[in-house]
């Protein structure tokens, strides 16, 4: 496999086909990742000095929970729709030489549910195993409360052993992350069922361990480089947003005018950083898709 050729082609597709940027931007926006204040203690006053009733507090909390739930659902849909769109659009570029936002939406909507199911099948067992291991790893420390030498030594040994097992689980998680990338492409490009995608992706990864390992290492290094580059930009965005807001607050000594200035600047900064991160998401997805297509071609030629 010519890794340099794949990386160059991935960047060429990323730069030439700007329709991909929309879905990269959306993916970065929902995959990324307040202030509060009170006056005169914790009491809020309405009307003629009546305290806010508990019923209104309950309604406010429920409303916030509903908003958070809606945002989570929308984020899940947008993330998996964007992943499916990026995968399908790259193959469309390879087959026809062009792609469009419309075809991206069509491919994304048709496959976002299976992609979400793949994530559930892979992530839930790993999350459960990690939680169990963490609990088991920390529970022996309760023996230290006995304040005796033998239980204390036993507690430390058991904790170390279980943490080693947890380290192995992290390696398994890393392997599954590669399997997930291949399974995504099995799902979108081959339109297979969820379990078939995971099984065939694992087989492809096992049979081409060296190739997928090199692709992962290359993208890992590129991710680090992008993170180093974006960190100063992030600090610059924070300074641009916070500087004028602090200046306004220093002049007015009022929070509201400072927020009026700082919030729009902060939103613009976040959108700018999401766009840059989105371009990186396009490149990363294109690299995996091109590598998958290459592996698929090699497998069919055998």
Please write the tens of the pLDDT for every residue from 284-302: 999 999 999 999 887 654 4
Residue of 36 and 284 predicted with greater confidence: 284
The SS3 call for residue 43 is coil
Q: What is the mean pLDDT of residues 87-115?
A: 93
Helix (H) or strand (E) holding 267: helix 255-301
Percent of the chain at pLDDT exceeding 90: 46
Residue 45 pairs in a beta bridge with 51
Q: Does 157 have pLDDT greater than 50? A: yes
Q: Is the pTM of this model over 0.85?
A: no
């929309």: which residue's tokens? 22
Pair type for strands 50-51 and 45-46: antiparallel
Lowest mean pLDDT among 35-39, 116-120, 130-134, 218-222: 35-39
3-state helix, strand and coil shares in percent for the chain, rounded to the nearest 5: 85, 0, 10
CA dist 180 and 155 (Å) reads 36
**The pLDDT of residue 162:** 72
Lowest mean pLDDT among 161-170, 215-224, 230-239: 161-170
Please write the tens of the pLDDT for every residue from 84-97: 999 999 999 999 98
Residue of 264 and 283 predicted with greater confidence: 283
Residue of 228 and 154 predicted with greater confidence: 228
Q: Does 254 have pLDDT greater than 90? A: no
Q: Does 150 have pLDDT greater than 60? A: yes
């Amino acid at each position: 496999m010519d890794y340099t050729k794949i990386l160059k082609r991935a960047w060429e597709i990323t730069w030439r086909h700007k329709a991909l940027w929309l879905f990269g931007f959306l993916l970065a926006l929902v995959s990324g990742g307040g202030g509060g204040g009170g006056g005169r203690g914790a009491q809020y006053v309405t009307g003629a000095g009546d305290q806010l009733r508990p019923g209104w507090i309950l309604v406010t909390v429920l409303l916030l929970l509903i908003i958070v739930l809606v945002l989570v659902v929308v984020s899940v849909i947008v993330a998996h729709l964007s992943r499916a769109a990026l995968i399908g659009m790259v193959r469309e570029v390879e087959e026809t030489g062009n792609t469009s936002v419309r075809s991206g939406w069509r491919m994304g909507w048709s496959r976002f549910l299976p992609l979400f199911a793949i994530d559930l099948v892979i992530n839930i067992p790993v999350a459960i195993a990690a939680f169990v291991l963490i609990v088991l790893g920390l529970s022996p420390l309760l023996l230290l409360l006995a304040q005796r030498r033998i239980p204390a030594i036993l507690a430390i040994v058991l904790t170390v052993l279980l943490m080693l097992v947890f380290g192995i689980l992290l390696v398994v998680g890393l392997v599954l992350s590669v399997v997930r990338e291949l399974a995504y492409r099995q799902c979108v490009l081959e339109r297979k069922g969820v379990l078939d995608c995971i099984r065939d992706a694992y087989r492809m990864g096992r049979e081409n361990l060296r190739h997928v390992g090199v692709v992962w290492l290359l993208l890992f290094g590129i991710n680090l480089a992008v993170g180093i580059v974006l960190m100063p930009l992030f600090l610059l965005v924070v300074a641009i947003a916070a500087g004028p807001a602090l200046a306004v607050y220093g002049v007015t000594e009022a929070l509201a005018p400072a927020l009026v200035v700082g919030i729009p600047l902060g939103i613009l900064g976040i959108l700018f950083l999401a766009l840059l991160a989105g371009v990186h998401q396009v490149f990363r997805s294109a690299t995996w898709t091109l590598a998958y297509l290459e592996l698929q071609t090699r497998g069919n030629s055998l």
